[in-house]
Structure 1
Amino acid sequence: MTSPVSDDEMRRALTTAKTYTAVILHQGPAFGTPDAGPILWEHGRRNFALRAQGALNIVCPVTDDTTTCGIGIMNTDMETAHDIIAEDPAVKAGILTFTLHPVRSFPGDSLA
């Protein structure tokens, strides 16, 4: 059971919300090809580096049988996020494609 939250508490909290960019990764035309495995490994390595730099706050590979491959939350504006993701090795190889969405969240939120 959740504790009740007052309107004043919500208003105060909403003033702390910050803009982020959500990245949704999808299967590209080269997904599943013989060369995809090593390139996806390097995509993962790049994600680790982006996390360490503070540009990619949340990384969530999607594990179902859809064509959606991953979700990320970037600590950048949309233009910067586009420039970063467009240089991803799996995107450049056509293994993944992406869409971007402006989102808001609360700094300091994390996964449990």
Structure 2
Amino acid sequence: MSDLPEITDAQMQEMLPSANPYSVVILRAGPKYGTAEAESVIWEHGRRNFALRAAGALSVVLPIIDDTDVCGVGIFDRDLQTTTALMEEDPGVMAGVFTFDVHPARGFPGDALPPEPV
């Protein structure tokens, strides 16, 4: 993209210290993904995601819509330990429909999804 704004070293040095810690979850298809009982479990997993969003724990939830084993990405406003504990209690994980990995990440104040895709 040639129309990107120029970002100077000074701007980067000013922004980097403002990064905040988050946890990123990569949700993958588990051994029971695609089974007859998985659909209702996935529905309850989604309901729980909405509750986690409403509680402020899950900042961004991104269901993945391709044909890979990655089913979703979540950005949690919690530390690794808390996020791992939350995911271990997920109905989809408990039922073997999903597995997950948790990674530490940093995000910048004001980062957000645009209201409408470009």
AA matched with 1:43: H
Alignment partner, residue 110 of structure 2: 108
Measure the CA separation in 2 of the matches of 1:12 and 1:67: 38
Residue type of the partner of 1:56? Answer: L
Q: Percent identity?
A: 49
2:14 aligned residue: 12
Q: Deviations over 1:57-81 (max 9, x none)?
A: 1100111100110001000110000
Structure 2 length as normaliser, TM-score?
Answer: 0.92
Give the counterpart of 1:73 among 75, 80, 87: 75
Q: 2: distance between equivalents of 1:2 and 1:37? A: 42
Question: What SS does the aligned partner of 2:28 have?
Answer: strand
SS for the counterpart of 2:110 is: coil
CA distance in 1, matches of 2:73, 2:61: 6
Matched ranges for 1:1-112 at <5 A: 1-112=3-114
One-letter code aligned to 2:68 = T
Other structure's SS at 1:33 match: coil
Aligned residues: 112
How far residue 108 of structure 1 moved from its aligned partner, in angstroms, is 2.4
Could you tell me how far apart the structure 1 residues matched to 2:86 and 2:57 are? 9
Q: Report the Cα distance in structure 2 between the residues aligned to 1:12 and 1:37, rounded to whole angstroms.
A: 47
SS at structure 2 position matched to 1:15: helix
4+ residue runs of structure 1 moved beyond 3 angstroms?
none
Could you tell me which runs of 5 or more consecutive residues in structure 2 were left unpaired when the two chains were aligned. Answer: none
Q: Which runs of 5+ in 1 are unaligned?
A: none
CA root-mean-square deviation: 0.7
Give the letter aligned to residue 71 of structure 1: V
Q: TM-score, normalised by structure 1?
A: 0.97
Deviation string 1:20-66 (CA, Å, 9 cap, x unpaired) is 10000000011011111111001001000111111101100111100
Query: Which secondary structure does the structure 1 equivalent of 2:18 belong to?
Result: coil
